[in-house]
Structure 1
Amino acid sequence: MKIGFITPEYPHPKVKHAAGLGTSIKNLAVALEQQGHDVYVFVYAQEKAETFVEDGISFHLIPDLSYKVAKWYQYRKYIQHTVQAIVTKEQIEILEVPDWTGISAFMKFSVPVVMRFHGSDTYFCHIEGRQQKFKNKLFESLAVKSAQAYIAPTQYAGDVSSQLFQIKNKEVRTIHYGLALEQFVNDTPEVYETGLVLYIGTIIRKKGVLELPEIFKRVQQQHPTARLVLVGSDAPDLQTRQASTWELLSSQLTSELKANVSYLGKVPYQKVQELIQKAHVCVFPTYAETLGMVTIESMAMQKPVVNSNIGWAQELMEDGKSGYLVHPSNHTTYADRIINLLNNKELCREIGAEALRFVSTKFDIKKQVAKNIQFYEEQIGTRA
């Protein structure tokens, strides 16, 4: 098959932005190429137009453009024309688009379009109880309606998205994100920096980071030398309208806590694995997610994880066996789970081993790529 992906991000030095969405696409694109399929990645909103082939994958960077009026429409049509020209030239058979911002609204292609529910603004506003802008809901609704088929990384994300967009008479297929497990090997899980509690992700309210000061305060009462390290891009806080969520978080830290809390900002993707390797415990107290790539990456590296217990998270691990699931607002219980792990090296080893087993069963890219291939073939067959 010849498969194209339209995306706003991808982990590559030439691409402006990369996060969980881009990582999941890369894992799948690489696995598809290794299976003998031709893969084309179209990354929009880039600094300049560029085309190149790397590791068998064809990349087409689509520049961001300015328009005097109606950029929301004209830029989408520009992306459409750019992609369709390559679809025609290369005889691409199917395209995959993300749900975020409804980028594929107003676009029409000559091949089937599959939408993957990585997490729309509609979804996140619903989960967080936020008011959504009308235009965002409109664009995403139009994009959803124009897709032929749908995939979600968790059953929860698929069910909620299906309800929000009133998808009827069409299945939302659950296909988990996949990991290339050979890239997340930790041969010495018993070696780590004692007391290092690690958070990786965007510094934003919906990720639960503003719960960390209260949680870590309780941890420090039992472990005065414990350290909390946060990694990820800072973001504005929509609720308070402050420009920096990190500054908001930092303002909640006592002077004693500040001495043991570090924010490293955004780090290169390769550096993330090094930090996970060093961590004693990884924490992800998020309120809004569809799956959470860095959670399963940490589990693959045999790290004990204390995660949110909301919806999608219950599909990532078995509570008390391959990790811990706790509501982010339950500061005492969340801290207790971290403290239990800091106190018990054998418990860390057991949970880490079970985490790897769980991820190997549920998220191995070699298993997930086969499910994606089957789904793509079904859509191409239906269209034919």
Structure 2
Amino acid sequence: MRIALFTEVFLPKIDGVVTRLMGTLDHLADMGHEVVVFAPGHPPARYAGFRVVPVRSVSFKPWYPELRVGLPTSNIAKTMERFHPHVVHAVNPIWLAAYGTMSSKRRDLPMLASFHTNVPEYTQRLGLEWITDTTERWITWIHNLAEVNLCTSQPMIEQAAAAGIKNLDLWPRAVDTQTYHPGNYSQRMRERLTDGHPEDRLLVYVGRMSKEKDLDVLRGVIARAPKGTRLAMVGSGPHLKQLEAEFAGTPTLFTGYMSGQELAEAYASADVFVFPSTTETLGLVALESMASGVPVVAARAGGIPFAVPDGVGGLLCEPHSSEDMSAQVNRLLADESLRSALAAGGQAEMEQHSWRAATEKLVESYELAIERHWSDYVPPRWRIKTFGRPMPRAT
């Protein structure tokens, strides 16, 4: 199968969406499919053997400087004409991926869209409330051009349905258990994350240092933690400097960005993983922590209850409540047998969710989009004006 994939984010940026795409592309390559990726900014020329087409972009300053907004260019149309895809996959369509959506309709191509980020909620967190309603209507309209819409958790399916998005299905969660496992525990990493005090209890957060992650909650958590508890904040982002100032005077270490084996060791060397974000559609970092044998304390919001079974791989707390998160964290720190039980339960749960199975489900969804598009096919009477011309059906 030939797949044209349009995404709003890709390497060198790393986040949950990019990690999901990397795992998916790796397995699509293993399964013998062909993919061309359209991504904003300065991505690598190839990934997993697939061509990555760089698309002209601008920074989303001043609200989110590290986010690149892709702009329509003529090289997209030329590449689409040469590649002749069987299906188009729009990842989180709002800018570049939305153009990919309209491009697929212009060419009468089957389309699948996937919903990974609650963009309307992000606009509120970034002080852009005046565009929230318009953004939600735009996203709903774009998604409803697709034959299939995938969400990464059941709560997000319900939220998308409430917004009026149709043709919804689940793209199962997946985690790389070969990379993330308890065997990555490292005394040297623990010494680093505890700033030279490995005997202390260690809380770890992994993710963007940004406003929508509700990281101010962790200031109250570390303040209420038992003496001899430390917090390591792994990652970078637009609010890093502000957070460093806010956490000054607390036993908190900001490590900067980590990846690969270094990140795997950071997860496995913690006592408890803390995740206060209320805007997650899934929460991949929570899955990676559970795969690493570390229990999670996270906010009961968004896709997190789907990702973290309460009482199995971790404990859930009330959203935006440093008091409740502190209570759950301190409960775990005081009860080693509970920590061990949750660690074992979370790891066993993650062993059931392989990248291969999730990618096979995605391919089935591509096939469903193709079937829906071409069954009882009638050429549309309208066209969205974009670069290029309608394509004949791919064979």
Kindly indicate whether the alpha-carbon contact (under 8 Å) linking 2:181 and 2:292 is maintained by their aligned counterparts in 1. Answer: yes
Length-normalised TM-score, structure 1 = 0.81
Rounded Cα–Cα distance in structure 1 between residues aligned with 2:206 and 2:252 = 14
- What is the aligned partner in structure 1 of residue 172 from structure 2? 176
For structure 1, list consecutive stretches of 5 or more residues without a partner in the other structure. 67-73, 236-244
Q: Do structure 1's residue 304 and structure 2's residue 303 form an aligned pair?
A: no
Between the two proteins, the alignment pairs up a number of residues equal to 349
Length-normalised TM-score, structure 2 = 0.79
Kindly indicate whether the alpha-carbon contact (under 8 Å) linking 1:201 and 1:231 is maintained by their aligned counterparts in 2. Answer: yes
Q: 1:128-184 CA distances to partner (integer Å, 9 max, x unpaired)?
A: 9972426644653443243332100011112212322x23xx321111232232222
- Aligned positions of 1:82-93 closer than 5 A: 82-93=75-86
Q: Do structure 1's residue 337 and structure 2's residue 332 form an aligned pair?
A: no
Q: Do structure 1's residue 103 and structure 2's residue 96 form an aligned pair?
A: yes
- What is the aligned partner in structure 2 of residue 150 from structure 1? 149
Rounded Cα–Cα distance in structure 2 between residues aligned with 1:212 and 1:61 = 37
- Aligned positions of 1:106-145 closer than 5 A: 106=99, 107-109=102-104, 110=107, 111-125=109-123, 131-133=129-131, 136-137=135-136, 139-145=138-144
Q: Do structure 1's residue 216 and structure 2's residue 235 form an aligned pair?
A: no
3-state secondary structure, aligned to 1:140: helix
- What is the aligned partner in structure 2 of residue 239 from structure 1? none
**What's the CA shift for 1:9?**
2.7
3-state secondary structure, aligned to 1:77: coil
Q: Do structure 1's residue 207 and structure 2's residue 202 form an aligned pair?
A: no
- Aligned positions of 1:153-164 closer than 5 A: 153-164=152-163
For structure 2, list consecutive stretches of 5 or more residues without a partner in the other structure. 60-68, 191-197, 375-395
Rounded Cα–Cα distance in structure 2 between residues aligned with 1:228 and 1:75 = 36
Rounded Cα–Cα distance in structure 1 between residues aligned with 2:33 and 2:98 = 27
Rounded Cα–Cα distance in structure 1 between residues aligned with 2:266 and 2:116 = 25
- Aligned positions of 1:3-14 closer than 5 A: 3-10=3-10
Aligned Cα root-mean-square deviation (Å): 2.9
Rounded Cα–Cα distance in structure 2 between residues aligned with 1:286 and 1:370 = 29
3-state secondary structure, aligned to 2:39: strand
- What is the aligned partner in structure 2 of residue 69 from structure 1? none
- Greater shift, 317-326 or 267-276, is seen at 267-276
- What is the aligned partner in structure 2 of residue 238 from structure 1? none
Rounded Cα–Cα distance in structure 2 between residues aligned with 1:137 and 1:152 = 16
Kindly indicate whether the alpha-carbon contact (under 8 Å) linking 1:105 and 1:146 is maintained by their aligned counterparts in 2. Answer: no
- What is the aligned partner in structure 2 of residue 233 from structure 1? 236
- Percent identical among aligned pairs is 20
Rounded Cα–Cα distance in structure 1 between residues aligned with 2:184 and 2:331 = 21
**What's the CA shift for 1:30?**
1.0
Amino acid at match of 1:196: L
Amino acid at match of 2:219: P
C-alpha distance 16-370 of structure 1, shift in aligned 2 (>3 A): closer
Q: 1:86-121 CA distances to partner (integer Å, 9 max, x unpaired)?
A: 333233211211225343445322322211101142
1:61 to 54, 62, 77: 54
- What is the aligned partner in structure 1 of residue 26 from structure 2? 30
C-alpha distance 125-46 of structure 1, shift in aligned 2 (>3 A): same
Kindly indicate whether the alpha-carbon contact (under 8 Å) linking 1:103 and 1:139 is maintained by their aligned counterparts in 2. Answer: no
3-state secondary structure, aligned to 2:182: coil
Rounded Cα–Cα distance in structure 1 between residues aligned with 2:173 and 2:303 = 13
Kindly indicate whether the alpha-carbon contact (under 8 Å) linking 1:76 and 1:104 is maintained by their aligned counterparts in 2. Answer: no
Rounded Cα–Cα distance in structure 2 between residues aligned with 1:102 and 1:120 = 14
- What is the aligned partner in structure 2 of residue 187 from structure 1? 183
